[in-house]
Amino acid sequence: MQRTTFSAQHCSVARTLDIIGEWWTLLILRDIFYGVRRFEPLVEQLGISRKVLTHRLKRLTEENILRKVPYQHNPCRYEYRLTASGLDLLPVLLVLMRWGDRWLSEDGQAPVEFVHADCGQVSTAKVVCAHCGGELTVRNLRPQPGPGAVLEEIESMRSASVNPDLFKKIRL
Amino acid sequence: MQRTTFSAQHCSVARTLDIIGEWWTLLILRDIFYGVRRFEPLVEQLGISRKVLTHRLKRLTEENILRKVPYQHNPCRYEYRLTASGLDLLPVLLVLMRWGDRWLSEDGQAPVEFVHADCGQVSTAKVVCAHCGGELTVRNLRPQPGPGAVLEEIESMRSASVNPDLFKKIRL
């Protein structure tokens, strides 16, 4: 099956999924966050085929989410480290984990917890407004075209919505 | 190709991806958040095949992320609405969008912005500790087994890590 590409869409969710939305990719990144940086341990931990892992690591390196760093010479062997944009995917993993803990774990029993060293408590991730720290909900967020918007696309979304008022602040 | 299932893994990221990690699924949910709730407008907005959309909507309804609500009788027609667990995926979308805005938009020019009605500012999503409100980073988070943990799996991850100290607080 030919993979659909979302990268031409003027939407940051679509563009992000175009890179990290392939099966396995976020689980590979999860393991690298846990310090599993080398090919053989990744194969073992993930139970992934070598072919698929090779392909995913290549893609993530090309997209500058991982970088290859030699850890041994003769023969040369590499490990994979997170770049700045790769490290910035931690919030994505934490938010996915929080949702799974809440909705998919038996009796809400989280398989893994995180102690937040700064406060010493078992922490869960919470998504808030970067400006005021308040909660972000469907009811208090109003989409509007950003500087990279294609207005026709947003107007099309508004027309298709059963709730066009959601977009009423759009300057079209 | 047979789809790998991650649901047997004791990991909330894996379980979550098992449900929302299929191509298209998060983009369908994005459009439903924008109020595009009906089959034909979703086909048009997404440029998705009717067969794939039918399959994804069926899966999301079975997983209780969406529910079908009739909006017309004779002939009966349905629209799709987010359940409580579906609404709780908003943070996932916001965090994916934030990452794409930062790393994939030309000159950081976000295609879509959100005004946070509670503070009146253009808002971006920020992931913080639900306990203290502080930043969560690779350096200040320490994984440990949660109540739903399988200790062998976590010990295996620690053994495979180049940074086993990350897990040093684990009670094994």
Alpha-carbon distance values, B116 to A95, A137, B105 (Å): 20, 9, 21
- pLDDT tens digits along B13-27: 888 887 777 778 999
- A44 and A72 assigned to the same domain: yes
Q: Which of B34, B67, B87 is a domain's end point?
A: B87
Task: Supply the DSSP string of B46-105, one letter for each residue.
Answer: HT--HHHHHHHHHHHHHTTSEEEEEEETTTTEEEEEE-HHHHTTHHHHHHHHHHHHHHTS
- pLDDT tens digits along A31-42: 999 999 999 999
- B19 and B42 assigned to the same domain: yes
Omega before residue A145 within 30° of 0, cis: no
Q: What is the pLDDT of residue B105?
A: 85
- A94 and A48 assigned to the same domain: no
Q: Which residue has the tokens 């009717």?
A: B50
Query: How far is it, in rounded angstroms, from Cα B117 to Cα A136?
Result: 9
Q: What is the pLDDT of residue A88?
A: 94
Closest listed residue to residue B11, CA positions, set A110, A58, A47: A110
Q: Give backbone dihedrals phi and psi of B71, rounded to 5 degrees, phi first.
A: -120, -5
Choose the mutation target among B99, B102, B172 for the interface with A, i.e. most A CBs under 10 Å: B99
Q: What is the pLDDT of residue B6?
A: 65
Mean per-residue pLDDT, A158-167 = 84
Tell me the residue type at B27: L
- B57 and B23 assigned to the same domain: yes
- Is residue B147 situated within a structural domain? no
- A96 and A80 assigned to the same domain: no
- B81 and B100 assigned to the same domain: no
ipTM of the complex: 0.90
Is residue B116 within a helix (H) or strand (E), and if so which, with residue range?
strand B112-116
Return the number of other C-beta atoms located less than 10 Å from residue A47's C-beta.
Answer: 10
- Chain A neighbors of B104, CB-CB under 8 A: 12, 15-16, 19
- Using CA coordinates, name the residue in chain A closest to B114: A143
Beta bridge partners of B70: B78
Q: Which residue has the tokens 């299932």?
A: B5
- A99 and A160 assigned to the same domain: no
Q: What is the pLDDT of residue A4?
A: 60
Domain that holds residue A113: 90-123
Beta bridge partners of A122: A115
Return the number of other C-beta atoms located less than 10 Å from residue B45's C-beta.
Answer: 20
Tell me the residue type at B44: E
Query: How far is it, in rounded angstroms, from Cα A99 to Cα A92?
Result: 11
Q: What is the pLDDT of residue B168?
A: 62
- Is residue A115 situated within a structural domain? yes
Work out the burial of residue B63: count CB atoms within 10 Å of its CB; fewer than 13 is exposed, 13-18 middle, 19 or more buried: middle
- Chain B neighbors of A154, CB-CB under 8 A: 112
- Chain A neighbors of B163, CB-CB under 8 A: 35
Query: How far is it, in rounded angstroms, from Cα B102 to Cα B109?
Result: 8
- B80 and B109 assigned to the same domain: no
Total number of domains constituting chain B: 2
Choose the mutation target among B129, B158, B159, B172 for the interface with A, i.e. most A CBs under 10 Å: B129
Mean per-residue pLDDT, A75-96 = 94
Who contacts A72 (Cβ-Cβ below 8 Å, separation ≥6)? none
- Is residue A5 situated within a structural domain? no
Choose the mutation target among B141, B153, B154, B165 for the interface with A, i.e. most A CBs under 10 Å: B141
- Is residue B171 situated within a structural domain? no
- Is residue A77 situated within a structural domain? yes
- B81 and B112 assigned to the same domain: no
Instruction: Mark the ranges of chain B whose per-residue pLDDT is less than 70.
Output: 1-9, 168-172
Query: How far is it, in rounded angstroms, from Cα A1 to Cα A154?
Result: 30
Nearest to B160 among A44, A139, A142 (CB): A44
Q: What is the pLDDT of residue B4?
A: 60
Q: Are B21 and A26 in contact (CB under 8 A)?
A: yes
Nearest to A99 among B88, B135, B163 (CB): B88
